[in-house]
Amino acid sequence: MYAIKVFSHCPGFCNKKSKKSKSEIILAANEPDLDADPQRAQYVRSIPNALLFDNLLLQGYLVNQNFLSKIYKFNVREDDLWLATYPKSGTTWTEEILSLIYNGGDIEKVKDKLLPKRVKHFEVGIPVGHSRWLQSKKSQRLIATHLPTTHIPIQLQQLKCKIIYVVRNPKDTAVSYYHHHRMSKFLGNYAGTWDNFVDLFAQGKLVHGDWLSHVEGYWRLHQQNPNQVLFISYEELKTDLPKMIAVIARFVGNNLTDEIIERIANHCSFDEMKDNKMVNREKLPVKGLFDMSQSKFMRKGIIGDWRTHFSDEQSKLFDKAYNHRLQELGINLCYDSDEAVQLAIMFALNIIWNIRNIRETKLFRKFSQKRSSDIHIAAHDPELDTDPQRAQYVRSIPNAWRFDDILLQGYLVFPNFLGKIKNFQVREDDIWLATYPKSGTTWTEEILSLIANGGDIEKVKETVLPKRVKHFEVGLPVGHSRWLKSKKSQRLIATHLPTTHIPRQLRQMKCKIIYVVRNPKDAAVSYYYHHRMSSFLGNYKGSWDDFCKLFVSGQLVYGDWLSHVEGFWRLHQHNPNQVLFLSYEELKTDLPKMVALIANFLGKDLSDEVIARIATHCSFECMKDNKMVNRESILLKGVFDMKDSKFMRQGVIGGWKHMFTDAQSQLFDDTYADKLDKLGLHICYDNEDALAYMQTNRRNIEQGGN
């Protein structure tokens, strides 16, 4: 330790090495213009033996200029795994996760080995032993770095191996880095004020430089090749650690069981980590690095601690410094726990499955050559900008797809699955529910689930609806496909796809289909609020008037309402014994009768008592408070912004009258009335119309016809 300090103090040696290197490496205190900025000068001189490495400020402790001079030409191996972070962004945490993943979740293999001996910090280490380890280690190397992309090895910039980058919101990062400075002797046990530290952070003048430049560099590498660079956030790790462990494991090619993932998650919880002497820096080969009386190395590990440190002015300073650029880059960061919950799933899925850039990947190019369907990223439509209103909408939907001329959301919709839809194997005992969005889908799914279970509410009350009725075109690639293929009992499947895009065997009516139509005015209002609350639909911020125009022109996700309805209406006319066509308004007007109709269509003979039980359970009042169906459950956490609108909002007929202007109502009438009349379809727009229709057009329960 003493020898290293003297070695680093020697200006002659440092200058000598700098002259021999293409890199510029000097003692930071010797920077010619340092005193032009007194605040920075005081900070730099407080860092023992600080170095400037090509204008990047580095600590002096265990950072050797001879090693720095060789960094760019460092030989990266294809089987390396590099972890990159800005300081205090979850580095130690992720290192432990990686170490356990590579040891198959076997805690016994790591519990007696210090973390720095399992994951090597690249630019920090005792000169001789550190270099020897990097060069001689034969098995896969786990390497961590705080260096920005401008200072990493050239072969790493070229993505010769896989990289994981963890970002943390800058406010919490700054707070944690401040306390880290105060406790770290190699950072001078920072004695300055919090106000000064905030200024230095925002100006990019701390050790390891500018936070935003650091993040942007790795974000661009991720965009360049998401198969080689996994970009995740500290907040995601905090929000759903098991899920993120699965994400990381999959990225590095390790398929772990749920049991192993849970074991790793428990071991890597904050409470476990802070007491684990192999990771919490209380047991190190070199003593005296940290003053634990100032702060623990693992301090709080929470989201939003910045609120206890930042003044309003400081918070605005950070917002001004970062928010606009982050928005331009397309990076969403969370500053409190609620935001983290809201964005975790969407952000993670963009990362895991490379939706954002999948069109450029070899996998997608290979798939594109084999598929018969036209599937591409909607934002890349050649003629998109000829219609500015449509272009703005399409680009607001995160990672939206164009699937044979209909628009689909990007969330949990994958091109490989879409390409196989036409040849999907339909079973004769399947039951398919088809609807245009916001036409009573969830409601009918719950009814179907209960009918299939003989009206036994006990069998369904603890299982979330998406696990009982599968949405066909939406789902995680592996688990979703596995369920569809392997489920032995009767499958209940829901879809919003029009008849032009459903499996060929479904168009041939190999199984029974139930279609629910809702009047277009109420459907449009409900879809508008659904867009506003749904992260995967971009939390629509356009006007209601623009939304109406997009609806009638068939440019929303899932396409044209009338074409959707007409397709399934014609299937019903072709074979009413295989396709039951009913309306949302009928369900609202006489639910027990419609439950009996559906049960009869499916060949289920239910007693009046069971039908009444199902109808009561599926009333709007019960449904909106049922966490198994109202999307407030943990399974779909973060997908919907419930502050703007509830998933189950009003559930009425005629709510459109409070939204539509006379001109908008006339637009819908002009668009749909004549065409519906020619099809022989009567659509109800209010309660009175629905009641009259039900009284004059009695359903034939025995046949289930219209």
Distances in whole angstroms, Cα of residue 6 to Cα of each of 1, 44, 315: 9, 19, 41
Beta bridge partners of 162: 81
**CA–CA distance, 65 with 71 (Å, rounded to integer):** 10
Distances in whole angstroms, Cα of residue 336 to Cα of each of 91, 304, 333, 340, 350: 20, 4, 9, 6, 21
Beta bridge partners of 163: 82, 229
**CA–CA distance, 444 with 514 (Å, rounded to integer):** 9
Q: What angle do CA 324, 327, 329 make, to 5 degrees?
A: 115
**CA–CA distance, 278 with 655 (Å, rounded to integer):** 61
Tell me how crowded residue 132 is: count the other CB atoms within 10 A of its CB.
Answer: 12
Three-state DSSP state, 167: strand
**146 catalytic, yes or no?**
yes
**CA–CA distance, 629 with 623 (Å, rounded to integer):** 7
Q: Any residues with CB less than 8 A from the CB of 631 and at least 6 apart, and which?
A: 639, 640, 647
Three-state DSSP state, 592: helix
Q: Which residue of the set 121, 130, 146, 564 is catalytic?
A: 146
User: Six-digit token pair at 68?
Assistant: 């720095």
**CA–CA distance, 473 with 484 (Å, rounded to integer):** 11
Side-chain half-sphere CA neighbours of 243 within 13 A:
23
**422 close to 503: Cβ distance less than 8 angstroms:** yes
Q: Give alpha helix (H) positions in 356-406.
A: 362-370, 388-396
Residue in the structure block whose two tokens are 């009444």: 612
User: Six-digit token pair at 335?
Assistant: 């500053």
Q: Give me the active site residues, please.
A: 146
